[in-house]
């Protein structure tokens, strides 16, 4: 990006891109015309422990476990993208997995929809689903723990 004398920022474009971030839930957007390029980014809000905590039925241990402890769990499966989590293949269908289910490597745990593309989140290894940390239809951030596999 050019800087220095002769470089002018289009404030209306910056405002329009910021509004687009709000409307879409994205955390970053970039526009380019010729050699001029502008990037608008927002630091995603931290997910509070209350928002990320599963229901009491999802975990046999207390649901008040700190979000940091869950994120650092060696079996935590984190979102590879910003999007919307779907726990079932279609509305009204049974969930892909639930706590207590045994899974095999590559088995679909849930789907994260991003920009109209359905991205399966799969089990990296065989194990037992200890917890599902998001609700169906909930927005998720990059790196957010989605489930715990033991």
Query: What pLDDT does residue 52 have?
Result: 45
Q: Looking at the domain assignment, is residue 65 inside a domain?
A: yes
79 and 96 belong to one structural domain: yes
Query: What pLDDT does residue 101 have?
Result: 92
pTM across the whole model: 0.54
Tens of pLDDT along 85-114? 999 999 889 999 999 999 999 999 999 999
Contact call for residues 112 and 142 (beta carbons, < 8 A)? no
Q: Looking at the domain assignment, is residue 55 inside a domain?
A: yes
Query: What pLDDT does residue 30 have?
Result: 76
Tens of pLDDT along 73-82? 788 899 999 9
Helices (H) and strands (E) in the chain, counts: 3, 10
Q: d(Cα 35, Cα 137) in Å, to the nearest integer?
A: 39
pLDDT exceeds cutoff 80 at 134? yes
Q: Looking at the domain assignment, is residue 1 inside a domain?
A: no
Tracing tokens 């706590």 back to the chain, one arrives at 99
How far is Cα of residue 118 from the mean position of the Cα atoms in its chain? 13
**pLDDT, mean over the chain:** 77
pLDDT exceeds cutoff 50 at 62? no
63 and 97 belong to one structural domain: yes
Q: Looking at the domain assignment, is residue 26 inside a domain?
A: yes
**Domains contained in the chain, number:** 2
Q: Looking at the domain assignment, is residue 16 inside a domain?
A: yes
118-122 mean pLDDT: 93
Q: Looking at the domain assignment, is residue 4 inside a domain?
A: no
Structural domain span for residue 36? 11-41
């Amino acid at each position: 990006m050019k800087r220095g004398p002769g470089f002018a920022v289009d404030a209306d474009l910056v405002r329009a891109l910021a509004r687009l971030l709000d409307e879409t839930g994205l955390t970053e957007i970039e526009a380019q015309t010729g050699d001029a390029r502008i990037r608008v980014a927002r630091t995603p809000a931290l997910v509070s422990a209350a928002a990320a905590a599963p229901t009491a039925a999802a975990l046999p241990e207390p649901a008040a476990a700190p979000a940091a402890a869950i994120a650092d769990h060696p079996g935590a499966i984190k979102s590879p993208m910003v999007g919307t989590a779907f726990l079932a293949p279609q509305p009204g269908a049974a969930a892909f997995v639930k706590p207590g289910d045994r899974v095999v490597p590559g088995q679909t745990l849930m789907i994260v929809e991003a920009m109209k593309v359905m991205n399966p989140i799969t089990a990296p290894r065989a194990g037992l689903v200890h917890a599902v940390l998001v609700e169906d239809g909930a927005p998720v951030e990059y790196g957010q723990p989605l489930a715990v596999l033991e």
